[in-house]
């Protein structure tokens, strides 16, 4: 131990120890405050998100439902004592049965719901992004009443989703709604919106677009304001047209923001429960259900089927995971490091 006084590293204080614990220790000393700062969130997420997730995955391989969840059936005998017997129909491990039943269409309409979900997600996200981009680039220029327009356009964001759902359901009401009143006023036959799969889906999509554009618009507007204005000035000196400036400066400059909001928007829309649930209620006859709402009704109407709900949950999560891995891979191929 000749180096005791010369070596400032803390590991020298513990001679004979291997490097590993001291590295752990140093890591702890260096990072403890970072870990302390994220700890509460990690604990809450672990208890309320990851434990349910793993339990959900396990349940999807069983046949647990409301009726067979008790392990013992107890009956009061005539003498007053309680006799407990094992429940003969107790829930059990059933392997892949749930997945087979769901994927073959024995329960629910998995493939139809998936199709509807894909259409719903694609149309909504495309419109959110397109309209958001259009409005943001209009707002990103000097003009009168700019602040007022921005407040008004963002306002739908402040309306709670269930209130918007009620409002639009009210507007699309077949008998007393504004939509049909306007159609009648211009001489078009009123439409029974919820009698056809596509018109029903249309009402839900309109509602969701109305609800979701402000977020995209605000995020993209923010992104546009981080693009240095020198770029535009230089382009203008070079004689670039407005469209060329948009295509060659604005769009590339927005890439990082767009990538994030499109991914988030896709995930959020895919799992958007209240709109379909409250606006179309699956009408007509469950044809306008998306995966989350269809699964919810299949699993929770009648005898609550916990294992079935979990099976759907796992399938939905898998679809989204595959999508985001794929999405990131495509981005990385195009040189995005995100």
Partner 1 sequence: MGRAPKTGRSRRSPAMSVLLHGTLILASLIAIGPIVWVLLSSLKPGYAIQSSELTLFRDTTLANYRYVLTETNFPRWFLNSVIVAAFTMAIGIFLSATTGYAVSRFNFPGRRPLMMVFLVTQMFPVAILIVPIYTILARLGLINTMPALIVAYLTIAVPFCAWMLKGYFDSIPTSLDEAAALDGCGPFATFWKVVLPLARPAVAVTAFYTFLTAWGEVAYASAFIQTDNRFTLAYGLQQFVPQFNPQWEYLTAAAVLVTIPAGLVFFFAQKHLVSGLTAGGTKG
Among positions 263-282, residues that touch partner 1 (CB under 8 A) are 263-264, 267-268, 271, 273-274, 277-278
The two three-digit tokens of residue 171, written as one number: 């507007």
Q: 3-state DSSP call for residue 273?
A: helix
How many residues belong to the site for partner 1 (CB under 8 A)?
109
* Residue 247, C-beta contacts closer than 8 angstroms, at least 6 positions apart: none
Cα-based distances in Å from 92 to 58, 62, 87, 108, 161: 11, 5, 11, 22, 39
- 13 vs 338, beta carbon nearer partner 1: 338
Site map 10..29 versus partner 1, x via CB under 8 A: -----------------x--
- 135 vs 201, beta carbon nearer partner 1: 135
For the residues of 267-329, what is the DSSP string, one character each? HHHHT-HHHIIIIITTTTTTTT--HHHHHHHHHHSSS--HHHHHHHHHHHHHHHHHHHHHHHH
Q: Decide if residue 56 touches partner 1 (CB under 8 A).
A: yes
Q: Where are the alpha helices (DSSP H) in 226-250?
A: 229-237, 242-245
Which of 127, 133, 153, 275 touches partner 1 by CB under 8 A?
153
Contacting range for partner 1; rule: CB under 8 A; set: 1-9, 71-79, 195-203, 254-262: 254-262
What span, in angstroms and rounded, lies between the C-alpha atoms of 164 and 169? 8
The two three-digit tokens of residue 19, written as one number: 């490097």
Which residues face 85 on adjacent strands? 73
The two three-digit tokens of residue 274, written as one number: 């209240």
Contact in structure between 33 and 283 (CB atoms under 8 Å): no
Q: Decide if residue 160 touches partner 1 (CB under 8 A).
A: yes
* Closest distance of CB 80 from partner 1, Å: 30
Site residues (CB under 8 A) for partner 1, limited to 281-320: 291-293, 295-296, 299, 304, 306, 309-310, 312-313, 316-317, 320
* Closest distance of CB 168 from partner 1, Å: 6
Packing angle of the helix pair 197-225, 161-171 (nearest 10 deg): 130
* Closest distance of CB 219 from partner 1, Å: 5
Which of 17, 29, 42, 330 touches partner 1 by CB under 8 A?
42
Q: Decide if residue 164 touches partner 1 (CB under 8 A).
A: yes
- 99 vs 232, beta carbon nearer partner 1: 232
Contact in structure between 275 and 165 (CB atoms under 8 Å): yes
* Closest distance of CB 106 from partner 1, Å: 19
Give the DSSP letter of residue 143. Answer: -
Which of 176, 186, 187, 239 touches partner 1 by CB under 8 A?
176
* Closest distance of CB 95 from partner 1, Å: 20
Which of 71, 83, 126, 182 touches partner 1 by CB under 8 A?
182
Q: Decide if residue 73 touches partner 1 (CB under 8 A).
A: no
What span, in angstroms and rounded, lies between the C-alpha atoms of 316 and 330? 21
Which of 10, 21, 45, 83 touches partner 1 by CB under 8 A?
45
What span, in angstroms and rounded, lies between the C-alpha atoms of 140 and 270? 30
Site residues (CB under 8 A) for partner 1, limited to 219-238: 219, 221-223, 225-226, 229, 232-233, 236
């Amino acid at each position: 131990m000749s180096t005791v006084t010369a070596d400032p590293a803390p590991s020298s204080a513990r001679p004979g120890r291997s490097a590993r614990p001291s590295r752990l220790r140093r890591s702890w000393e260096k990072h403890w405050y970072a870990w302390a700062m994220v700890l509460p969130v990690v604990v809450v997420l672990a208890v309320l998100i990851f434990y349910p997730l793993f339990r959900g995955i396990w349940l999807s391989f069983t046949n647990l439902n409301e009726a067979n969840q008790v392990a013992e059936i107890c009956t009061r005998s005539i003498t007053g004592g309680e006799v407990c017997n094992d429940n003969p129909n107790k829930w059990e491990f059933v392997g892949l049965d749930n997945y087979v039943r769901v994927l073959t269409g024995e329960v629910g309409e998995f493939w139809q719901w998936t199709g509807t979900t894909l259409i719903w997600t694609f149309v909504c996200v495309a419109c959110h992004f397109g309209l958001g981009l259009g409005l943001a680039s209009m707002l990103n220029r000097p003009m009168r009443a700019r602040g007022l327009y921005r407040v008004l356009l963002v306002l739908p964001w402040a309306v709670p989703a269930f209130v918007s759902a009620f409002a639009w359901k009210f507007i699309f009401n077949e008998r007393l709604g504004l939509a049909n009143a306007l159609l009648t006023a211009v001489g078009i036959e009123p439409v029974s919106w919820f009698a056809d799969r596509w018109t029903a889906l249309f009402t839900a999509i309109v509602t969701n677009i109305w609800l979701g554009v402000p977020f995209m618009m605000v995020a993209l507007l923010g992104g546009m304001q981080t693009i240095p204005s020198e770029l535009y000035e230089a382009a203008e000196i070079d004689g670039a047209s407005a469209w060329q400036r948009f295509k060659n400066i604005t769009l590339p400059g927005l890439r990082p923001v767009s990538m994030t909001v499109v991914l988030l928007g896709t995930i959020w829309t895919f799992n958007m429960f209240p709109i379909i649930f409250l606006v179309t209620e699956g009408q007509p006859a469950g044809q306008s259900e998306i995966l989350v709402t269809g699964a919810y009704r299949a699993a929770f109407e009648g005898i609550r089927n916990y294992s079935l709900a979990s099976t759907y949950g796992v399938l939905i999560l898998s679809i989204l995971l595959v999508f985001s891995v794929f999405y990131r891979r495509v981005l990385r191929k195009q040189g995005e490091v995100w």
